[in-house]
């Protein structure tokens, strides 16, 4: 069966997913953009159907989290806001599509869920690879230590070097 043509590239959705409070979430303005509504309309529907959004589906960012996001991502969407955005988990994004009740929202929510599933599969396969690597390391002697260390280095995400701003002497 052919897969339907996607509305939005998967890579774009992946970039919208953030890791906050130990959860993968998407912010209200990104979901509004995907679902083809304004952020105001999206948040209006959330307030009207608040009982459908328990804490494990959605939460409001704190002022501190909001400021941190603003400093990390200098986007117009964040700089123009006065209030912190809502963050939606995978289940919250699906529920949101249900309360918006538009064909665009339904199609986009299917894509969002697929991306969340894909990211979960990557995490599981990474853990499985780490487990297999550890068992191999126990079997072989120290001559392969360099190989195992190199593989571990590839598995851990490299920290970005912070560039200093300003003039240097």
Question: Where does the pLDDT of residue 159 fall: very low under 50, low under 70, confident under 90, or very high at 90 and above?
Answer: low
Provide the percentage of residues in the chain whose pLDDT is more than 70: 75
Q: How far apart are CA 60 and CA 130, in angstroms?
A: 35
In this prediction, residue 3 carries a pLDDT of 45
Question: Where does the pLDDT of residue 74 fall: very low under 50, low under 70, confident under 90, or very high at 90 and above?
Answer: low
Question: Where does the pLDDT of residue 52 fall: very low under 50, low under 70, confident under 90, or very high at 90 and above?
Answer: very high
Q: Which domains does the chain have, with CATH numbers?
A: 10-120 (3.10.260)
In this prediction, residue 40 carries a pLDDT of 93
pTM (whole model) above 0.75: no
Q: Quick one: CA dihedral 66, 67, 73, 75, positive or negative?
A: positive
Q: Interior CA angle at 76 toward 75 and 77, to 5°?
A: 90
CA nearest neighbour of 123 among 16, 7, 14, 21: 14
Question: Where does the pLDDT of residue 135 fall: very low under 50, low under 70, confident under 90, or very high at 90 and above?
Answer: confident
Q: How far apart are CA 84 and CA 67, in angstroms?
A: 9
Q: How far apart are CA 53 and CA 57, in angstroms?
A: 5
Neighbours of 20 (CB within 10 A): 16
Note the pLDDT tens digit of each residue in 55-73. Answer: 999 999 999 998 888 877 7
Strand partners, 24: 19
Residue 22 CB partners (closer than 8 Å, separation 6+):
none
Evaluate if residue 129 carries a pLDDT over 80: no
In this prediction, residue 2 carries a pLDDT of 42
How many Å separate Cα 140 from the centre of its chain? Answer: 38
């Amino acid at each position: 069966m052919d897969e339907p043509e996607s509305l939005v590239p998967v890579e774009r959705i992946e970039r919208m997913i953030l890791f906050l409070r130990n959860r993968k979430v998407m912010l209200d303005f990104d979901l509004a953009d995907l679902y083809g509504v304004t952020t105001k309309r999206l948040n209006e529907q959330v307030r009207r159907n608040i009982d459908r959004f328990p804490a494990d589906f959605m939460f409001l960012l704190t002022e501190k989290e909001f400021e941190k996001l603003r400093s990390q991502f200098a986007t117009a969407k964040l700089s123009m806001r006065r209030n912190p955005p809502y963050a939606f988990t995978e289940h919250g994004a699906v529920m949101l599509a249900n309360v918006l009740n538009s064909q665009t929202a339904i199609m986009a929510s299917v894509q969002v869920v697929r991306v969340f599933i894909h990211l979960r599969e990557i995490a599981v396969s990474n853990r499985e690879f780490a487990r297999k690597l550890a068992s191999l390391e126990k079997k072989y002697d120290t001559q392969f230590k360099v190989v195992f260390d190199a593989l571990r280095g590839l598995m851990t995400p490299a920290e970005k070097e912070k560039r200093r701003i300003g003039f240097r002497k």
